[in-house]
Homo-oligomer: A and B are copies of this chain.
């Protein structure tokens, strides 16, 4: 077994080319707008075939680190500050990862025909059945977040009979619904009476709100609102640097 870095193991040629270029970009030696050597120049420098350097450059382009233009060449892209990777873990996983005891409590569950408000929230037009779930997550017996969720049963019929009294709906969905897309909206509110009681905080205390809307290839799956105590909870997002 080797304790050295992967890079030292035995990088293949195209990976070495990619890493060489990536390093020059990250260190700023090649600033945004800088033209990267042409493929035929890299072919000469590394003594390999064009397909090999092409693979290296294609991957850098797929990672948005460079931009390739026919006839013109390849150029270092400007950093795109507007794109960052936000880690929003499954709450249970998040709490257990912190080494704290996870607690879950189902507050309410209702199966009903979608009301106008439900349809609006899910972004669907046709009427159908939904499950509405309210629950609470806690860490070491302290309220961590309250969850208010709507599941579209026309997309996830199994959810009608799933037992959410022990398994949180988020975890259940993660294991029963294939690859999904989602949109998160983050905002801040101050706790009203009901929220304050559920989270065991003072009325008027700040709360972080995450609204997550999930779909799979144009089909709505679920809409969920999570409320966290704003002063204790922090969302960490790491910039996507390639």
B208 touches A188 (CB 8 A): yes
A26 touches B179 (CB 8 A): yes
A81 touches B90 (CB 8 A): yes
Known A86-B237, A207-B206; contact A26-B189, beta-carbon cutoff 8 A: no
Known A178-B25, A181-B241, A189-B230; contact A85-B85, beta-carbon cutoff 8 A: yes
Enumerate chain B residues within 8 angstroms of A17, measured Cβ to Cβ.
none
Enumerate chain B residues within 8 angstroms of A32, measured Cβ to Cβ.
178-179
The 4 A-B residue pairs whose C-beta atoms are closest, nearest first, are: A188-B230, A182-B239, A188-B188, A86-B86
Q: How far is the CA of A217 from the CA of B30 in the complex (A)?
A: 13
Say yes or no: is A2 at the interface (Cβ < 8 Å to chain B).
no
A231 touches B188 (CB 8 A): yes
Known A26-B179, A65-B179, A88-B81; contact A236-B184, beta-carbon cutoff 8 A: yes
A87 touches B83 (CB 8 A): yes
Say yes or no: is A27 at the interface (Cβ < 8 Å to chain B).
yes
Enumerate chain B residues within 8 angstroms of A189, measured Cβ to Cβ.
188, 206, 230-231
Least CB distance from A127 to B in Å reads 23
Least CB distance from A153 to B in Å reads 16
Binding site for B on A (CB under 8 A): 23, 25-28, 30-32, 59, 62-63, 65, 76-79, 81-90, 93, 170, 174-175, 177-190, 204-209, 214, 216-217, 228, 230-231, 233-242
A81 touches B188 (CB 8 A): no
Counting chain B CB atoms within 10 Å of each CB, the highest count among A62, A63, A170, A179 belongs to A179
Report the nearest B residue to A209, measured CB to CB. Answer: B188
Least CB distance from A207 to B in Å reads 6
Enumerate chain B residues within 8 angstroms of A90, measured Cβ to Cβ.
81-82
Least CB distance from A18 to B in Å reads 11
Report the nearest B residue to A190, measured CB to CB. Answer: B206
B82 touches A83 (CB 8 A): no
B178 touches A76 (CB 8 A): yes
Known A174-B81, A179-B32, A216-B27; contact A237-B184, beta-carbon cutoff 8 A: yes
